[in-house]
Amino acid sequence: MKFISPKIYITVIVTALSMLVFSCKKYLDVQPQSSFSPEDVFSNVSSVNSAIMGIYQLLAGDDGYGQRQSLVYPNDTDEFTRSGDVDAGARGLARYVADAGNSELAATFSRGYNGIERANLCLKYIPQMDAYNNGPEADKKELRRMYAEALTLRAIYYFDLVKNWGDVPLQTEPSVSGMDFNLSKTNSEVIYDKILADLLVAERLLPWRKETVADERITQGAARGLRARIALFRGGYMLRRVSNIMERQADYLKYYAITRDECDTIMKSGQHSLNPSFYDVFKKLNELTLDNVYGERMLEVAQAGGNANYDSKLGRANGTRIADGSRYGPAGGAQNPNTNYFYAFDPADPRREVTIANYNIAVNNLKSPARITEMNDGKYRRDWRPIIAGATQTLGINWVMLRYSDVLLMYAEAVNEINGAPDAAAIKAFEDVRKRAFSTNLSKVGVTPTDKAGFFNALVKERSLELGGEGIRKYDLIRWNLLGAKLKEAKAIMTTIVSATQYPRYLYYRNVGEEFEFYPGTGYYLPDPAVPPAPLYNAVTNPNGYIRIDWRQNLTTATGGFIEKLGRSFQSNHSEVLPIHRTIIDLNPNLKQDYGY
């Protein structure tokens, strides 16, 4: 090798080095492997579908309708109260003492905008896709459906933000570095108008439920129902930033017409109907069965997978209180029905037994009546679910966002407002709901008022009986500007019940198998027996005796008691909206707290 001179070596090396320089640009261009560019995602129908699932996902989980939006935000109302006393979290919200540091506030707010960003990306990129414009018809149709889903989902996220926080920032384009992210608030009605317009586009691109595979994806009926609901909010009372007063816009009737028309379209579509059994609606829900037959459950948030991000704590955090160690696994406790709500149901109304879980289950699986202040909400309950043992936190139970009975009642309400009185169709829609409830005892349906105010009041009550525990009441009362009044009314009714001798002071029960029965001649709607059963249960001397538990005895007007704490610090023209969490306000100089927070 000696014959090669060093010069040649150097030349070779210099050449090699310059080639390296030349190739280094290419060498340094590395493409991500485990992630996708937007171009990858929006290149075919199936990966767009995944992007759409990504938008849906934020509806589920702890910070979505898996817990926070279904069980935390909707309290307290005249129906339910959050258990326990004030804290810096859910109980603080329920008592309306939440400040901007409340632990429940930040995640859901951010999650909403996270969902909006995901939708904005889909709304930007789907129409740019070749398949959307020039693809096969099937692809075009599917992509239009997905585009409509993105619009609807964005509407849901904005609706959830506005109904909880009032005026919030509006962003309808995907975020890009360099953009001004310091958005200020947009008036609620502007946001409502935007999403009502979006839904009008979306609903026409979506299939009706019978035209597609049955699953939890949004169908035309759901989008129309949502549009009807949002229109009611647009036409209802809103807390104004400037005046700090609950006001409704002068043109509100325009929006009631939207509600009426959308509901009308749904009712005439033949796609949705009431399940003849109210019990069956929720029993099936807890059995994890979709409502393929009636389509009464029009929109559900799908939840599964045993994960706090896309599964729900429904039936675990709330519902029947079940002891750890029983065969069902532990459950219950998040929200307690108010006594006035319990007694608002007609004794013959089967909806009470569904809406309120008035029993507990012990370690040995025996049921016992719950005390008056310790009953639970009952539409989501673990003991109705196929048994899943252990301390499992997430039970895969869907959240029902919209039911057909709500559509019927919205229709009735819209017509009543527009016409100044209910017409026959409105009365029929209202009575359809009541008749389903009392199908075995139609005499209990009663006479429907025909004047505007009477019909409205009947609707206010009926919506509570029908839709209780479905996260609707608080927002209904706000759009009617009745939340403060109804909380007061609930307290007043409960106060009278404390000394209402037509109801029992104690309940006496014994177990028959795992179920329980009351001592003959006693019950929720009967006064104390003249002679209480004696001797009571004693494991040694009288194992067949009756066990006494507190009923009315348990209800007190004391400070810190069940009645006093209900919605304790509610202030009209303030508490209707939530404060935005401090960490969010702090980051954005243009975002103000407002509303007296």
Report how many residues bind another protein under the rule CB under 8 A. 89
- Please identify, using beta-carbon distances, which residue of 51 and 497 lies nearer to another protein: 51
Residues present in the chain in total: 597
Which residues inside 312-331 make contact with another protein, applying CB under 8 A? 324-325
35 binds another protein (CB under 8 A): yes
The Cα 81–Cα 463 span in angstroms is 18
Look up tokens 């009362």; give the residue.
Answer: 477
280 binds another protein (CB under 8 A): no
Residue span binding another protein (CB under 8 A) among the ranges 54-62, 260-268, 270-278, 497-505? 54-62
For 544, the token pair is 């067949």
10 binds another protein (CB under 8 A): yes
Element at 321 (helix H, strand E): strand 321-322
Backbone angles phi and psi of 533, in degrees to 5: -60, 135
CA atoms within 13 Å, Cβ hemisphere of 469:
28
Among 11, 15, 22, 40, binds another protein (CB under 8 A): 40
For 102, the token pair is 């409340």
Among 44, 187, 277, 393, binds another protein (CB under 8 A): 393
Backbone angles phi and psi of 161, in degrees to 5: -65, -45
309 binds another protein (CB under 8 A): yes
Look up tokens 């909380």; give the residue.
Answer: 487
What is the pattern of x (binds another protein, CB under 8 A) and - over residues 168-197?
xx-x--xx-x-x-xxx--------------
* The pairing of beta strand 376-377 with beta strand 321-322: unpaired
For 563, the token pair is 């009645």
The Cα 127–Cα 544 span in angstroms is 72
- Identify whether the C-beta of residue 443 lies closer than 8 Å to the C-beta of residue 451: no
CA angle 85, 67, 191 (to 5 degrees): 105
Q: Could you tell me the smallest distance in angstroms from the CB atom of residue 187 to another protein?
A: 15
- Please identify, using beta-carbon distances, which residue of 37 and 557 lies nearer to another protein: 37
- Please identify, using beta-carbon distances, which residue of 450 and 588 lies nearer to another protein: 588
The Cα 28–Cα 98 span in angstroms is 52
306 binds another protein (CB under 8 A): yes
32 binds another protein (CB under 8 A): yes
User: Side chain identity at 13, as an amino acid letter?
Assistant: I
Which residues inside 207-226 make contact with another protein, applying CB under 8 A? 214-217
87 binds another protein (CB under 8 A): yes
- Please identify, using beta-carbon distances, which residue of 451 and 586 lies nearer to another protein: 586
**Nearby residues of 148 by Cβ (< 8 Å), 6 or more positions away:** 201, 202, 203, 204, 205, 206, 218, 223
591 binds another protein (CB under 8 A): yes
138 binds another protein (CB under 8 A): no
- Please identify, using beta-carbon distances, which residue of 387 and 540 lies nearer to another protein: 387
Q: Could you tell me the smallest distance in angstroms from the CB atom of residue 390 to another protein?
A: 3
- Please identify, using beta-carbon distances, which residue of 121 and 199 lies nearer to another protein: 121
290 binds another protein (CB under 8 A): yes
Q: HEC states along 105-150? A: CHHHHHHHHHHHHHHHHHHHHHHHCHHHHHCCHHHHHHHHHHHHHH
Which residues inside 91-120 make contact with another protein, applying CB under 8 A? 97, 101, 109-110, 113-114, 116-118, 120
* Residue 368 three-state SS: strand
Q: Could you tell me the smallest distance in angstroms from the CB atom of residue 101 to another protein?
A: 6
- Identify whether the C-beta of residue 89 lies closer than 8 Å to the C-beta of residue 103: yes
Q: Could you tell me the smallest distance in angstroms from the CB atom of residue 14 to another protein?
A: 10
Which residues inside 343-372 make contact with another protein, applying CB under 8 A? none
**Nearby residues of 512 by Cβ (< 8 Å), 6 or more positions away:** none
476 binds another protein (CB under 8 A): no
- Please identify, using beta-carbon distances, which residue of 118 and 491 lies nearer to another protein: 118
Q: Could you tell me the smallest distance in angstroms from the CB atom of residue 85 to another protein?
A: 9
Which residues inside 406-465 make contact with another protein, applying CB under 8 A? none
Q: Could you tell me the smallest distance in angstroms from the CB atom of residue 398 to another protein?
A: 8
519 binds another protein (CB under 8 A): no
The Cα 489–Cα 503 span in angstroms is 19
Q: Could you tell me the smallest distance in angstroms from the CB atom of residue 284 to another protein?
A: 13
Compute the Cα dihedral for 148, 150, 153, 155 and give only its sign: negative
385 binds another protein (CB under 8 A): yes
- Please identify, using beta-carbon distances, which residue of 32 and 513 lies nearer to another protein: 32
The Cα 90–Cα 547 span in angstroms is 34
